[in-house]
Structure 1
Amino acid sequence: MSRPAWSAVPKPKVERFAAIALAESADLAQVILREIRSDFPELRLVQGESGEPMALVGIRRAIEGFVQHLASGAADPRVPPEVFQEFGRGEGLNGRSLDSLQAVYRLGVRLAWRRFAEIGQQVDIAAPAMYELAESGFVYLDGLVEQSVRGYAEAAARQASERLRLQRQLIDRLLSGQRGDTVHTLGERAARIGWELPATIAVGVLIRPAREAVAPAVGQGILLDMESEQPRMVIPEPDTAGRADLVRRATTGWSGAIGPSVPLAAAATSLRWAETAVRLIEDGLLPQGEVQHCTDRTEELVLLPSRELIDAAAPRCLTPLQDVAPAQARRLAATLLAWIETSGGAPDVANRLGVHPQTARYRLRQIRELWGDAIDDPDRRFEMLLVLRAQRLRGELSATPD
């Protein structure tokens, strides 16, 4: 920054100004700190290695650095970085905002400038030169803030990293299913990240839409682990009004599943159902592009993972269809399923299948002929219901065959 008026000040006056300011720097720093503490009583003083408050050391160094650079004719005073980065780190680690720190700096610069103006009059430095000195003070203030912002950002990043690490540890403990963790132990872990243990939770498992996908903005109350190959969520009190809508909006564009609401100690159970649903999504058996709620997909989650067992039971349940042509067997199987589901007569079955009642009546007579009285056994009908619904879920059986 160019300071022509200050450059025109005779060197003896500059040296006299600098000598007075430097001689008073320690006392001026004390006055400034006292005023700052009066206006900002919440400011916490940290002792440095010398036993002095770091704030006092920083103020004194700032004054001395500013004056020395002015006396040397340097273009812009250099801010001592270490102290003011440390101030910024302190604000970040103590949860205060940068606004409060900037307010402290502005007060300090104003008080320093008041004394510099008095020294300028004492030494008889012209007003234009003092105006330029004030402008240099504001530039210097910007440098102080810049250094503090660096320290603040570093502290914020460190805190965020540590919180994520503790959060992942808590999620791992919650979902591990280990019985060694008492509510007290989990509560201590939760308290480290400011999370209150809920009575019930639901666990979500997500499928990344892309490797670089931005984490869902689920808010502070929901624990999110993005480090896993498939991100995991722990949703506290999932049945709270509005919680489901919040999760739905936050996970727009993601695929995945949310397990049932369970007591805190049963978190692993909710996780297991969510993982089961995710496998069905990956196999194309549940829709992609949204986060499914397992309680909305009970039929699929009960029947589809049991494919081996269902397929083993199918030949015995549907033995009469083995000697029927494949196309006719599919039609009769769909009709049998419609009859079991409706517990009605031909009109109900026809309406469900979208066929003429006479067609439904004809097929029902065929079914009666093939199964005989066995069709009236409730246990047999229930077993056939499971087998036929599983086949329909897998796309192997149409509810309205040609």
Structure 2
Amino acid sequence: MPPLRSAWQDVPRTRVRRFAELALDELPLLAEDIFREIRREYPNLAPTPTESGEPMALVGIRRALEHFVQHKAGEHDEAEDHRRVFQEFGRLQVMNGRSLDSLQAMYRMGVRMAWRRLAEIGQKVHIPAPAMYELAESGFEYLDGLVAESMRGYAEAAARQESERLRLQRRLLELLLAEPRPADPVRHAEALAERAARVGWPLPERVAVAVLVRPGREAVAPAVSGDVLLDMECERPRMVVPDPGAAGRPELLRRATAGWSGALGPPVPLAAAAASLRWATVAVRLMERGLLPSGELLHCTEHTEALVLLPPDELIDAVARERLAPLAQCGATHGRRLAETLLAWLETRGGAPEIAARLGVHPQTVRYRLRQIRDLWGDEVDDPDLRFELELVLRAQRLRGDLAAPAT
């Protein structure tokens, strides 16, 4: 199929050159009119001056118009400086905290004003209507190119800004979660306030620190709110949650971390954030050992027994070997049943019927086992310190799964 014939290319060259001459003569004034109208519609737009003192926007508008007219006249201007200007416009939007929406609206306004003036010039030199329609289409295509340049500048600036923000945020987290605690709390607080100010993070009174376990290498980061500090650069991502007791915060965290495993440390004063991180880390280690549930963000405050009893394995095991030594002579199965009965008695201090209901056995079975327990430990079983240690080690064994959980 032969290519479509260009109406603009059919216009005599002398007429095209005359159109370009008239347009180029009027472009400086047209650029000023467009710039003035933009300033009127967007009064809060602060003009950025060039080295010559002219507003950068005015220079960009004028150069873009000149380049477009020269291109359509067949005078190929290789200088593309105006494109860098439009990239800078995109960068400035990022620096001023604005989106590209207003910038694109300005561009469309400029194109409409330019088209009206170019149409008048086209009529004056008798450019046929089909050719002017084609010129209008070219103008909007040209606008798309300028928008693309601004988007490029915007994306580059946004990436640099985000990279810098993440760098500053990591420095804040390093200071916030550093151990041991600083020797000079006052200077530490001042440094913390300075780093927090640089990332726009209001210092809260209390925080909770979470440690996360990646569900996969390409997992999307949790969609936490802007006031939550999130460090995804660690092998186990860390998250600092301000004011964790605020209304609705637990539900928001649950939704944001859906699909992730992890642990949220206890709420602590800001200066003790490292302690919250420490407990969260302990909880994650227990999750990886299968001793705490995984698949969601668990709260350390809901698993205090496990966090207190399970981490000191060597100490608990040493106490267990000493205090549970009498069970060694009973055989594995019977020894475990006696241990479960002993723990139920220590926890309830109740009678045989209550302990039997807890264990799911007959009360007479409980009475028999309690007599055996007293035979094994003698009067020592009445000593408060021994009972405390026995309960500790037996609870730890139950948490590990060595003893059965209560029936009720």
TM-score bracket for this pair, using the shorter chain length: over 0.9
Q: 1:145 aligns with which of 144, 147, 159?
A: 147
- Matches of 1:122 and 1:284 in 2, distance apart? 84
Aligned to 1:206: 212
What per-residue deviation string (whole Å, max 9, x for no partner) do you get for residues 137-167 of structure 1?
1111111111111111111111111111111
% identical equivalent positions: 66
Moved more, 110-119 or 179-188: 179-188
Aligned to 1:305: 311
Q: 2:333 aligns with which of 304, 327, 336?
A: 327
Q: Gaps spanning 5+ residues in structure 1: where? A: none
TM-score normalized by the length of structure 2: 0.93
Alignment of 1:3-82 (within 5 A): 4-72=6-74, 80-82=82-84
The answer to whether the Cα contact below 8 Å between 1:218 and 1:250 also exists between their aligned partners in 2 is yes
- Matches of 1:79 and 1:8 in 2, distance apart? 30
1:166 aligns with 2:163: no
- Matches of 1:10 and 1:306 in 2, distance apart? 92
Alignment of 1:109-120 (within 5 A): 109-120=111-122
Task: Tell me the amino acid that sits aligned with residue 115 of structure 1.
Answer: R
Task: Tell me the amino acid that sits aligned with residue 97 of structure 1.
Answer: S
Aligned to 1:369: 375
Moved more, 147-156 or 279-288: 279-288
- Matches of 2:157 and 2:406 in 1, distance apart? 64
How far the C-alpha of 1:385 sits from its partner, in A, is: 0.3
Aligned to 2:244: 238
Q: 2:279 aligns with which of 273, 281, 284?
A: 273
- Matches of 2:341 and 2:358 in 1, distance apart? 9
Aligned to 2:402: 396
- Matches of 2:14 and 2:314 in 1, distance apart? 98
Moved more, 183-192 or 328-337: 183-192
Task: Tell me the amino acid that sits aligned with residue 72 of structure 2.
Answer: L
Task: Tell me the amino acid that sits aligned with residue 327 of structure 1.
Answer: T
SS in 2 for 1:72: coil
Alignment of 1:274-289 (within 5 A): 274-289=280-295
How far the C-alpha of 1:323 sits from its partner, in A, is: 2.5
1:315 aligns with 2:317: no
What per-residue deviation string (whole Å, max 9, x for no partner) do you get for residues 235-260 of structure 1?
00001111111111211221211110
- Matches of 1:394 and 1:360 in 2, distance apart? 24
How far the C-alpha of 1:296 sits from its partner, in A, is: 0.9
How far the C-alpha of 1:397 sits from its partner, in A, is: 2.2
How far the C-alpha of 1:326 sits from its partner, in A, is: 2.5
Task: Tell me the amino acid that sits aligned with residue 274 of structure 1.
Answer: A
SS in 1 for 2:394: helix
Aligned to 2:363: 357
SS in 1 for 2:227: coil
Distance 1:326 1:6, change over 3 A: closer
Moved more, 338-347 or 287-296: 287-296
CA RMSD of aligned residues (A): 2.0
Moved more, 241-250 or 117-126: 117-126
- Matches of 1:5 and 1:330 in 2, distance apart? 96
What per-residue deviation string (whole Å, max 9, x for no partner) do you get for residues 30-61 of structure 1?
22111111111122211223332211111111
- Matches of 1:52 and 1:2 in 2, distance apart? 43
Moved more, 115-124 or 379-388: 115-124
Aligned to 2:354: 348
Moved more, 97-106 or 48-57: 48-57
- Matches of 1:209 and 1:188 in 2, distance apart? 35
- Matches of 2:293 and 2:252 in 1, distance apart? 20
Task: Tell me the amino acid that sits aligned with residue 211 of structure 1.
Answer: R
Aligned to 1:249: 255
How far the C-alpha of 1:79 sits from its partner, in A, is: 9.4
Moved more, 392-401 or 188-197: 392-401
What per-residue deviation string (whole Å, max 9, x for no partner) do you get for residues 143-192 of structure 1?
11111111111111111111111111111110004424543332221122
How far the C-alpha of 1:27 sits from its partner, in A, is: 2.0
Task: Tell me the amino acid that sits aligned with residue 316 of structure 2.
Answer: I
How far the C-alpha of 1:3 sits from its partner, in A, is: 6.8
Distance 1:362 1:88, change over 3 A: same
TM-score normalized by the length of structure 1: 0.94
How far the C-alpha of 1:2 sits from its partner, in A, is: 6.2
Distance 1:14 1:346, change over 3 A: same
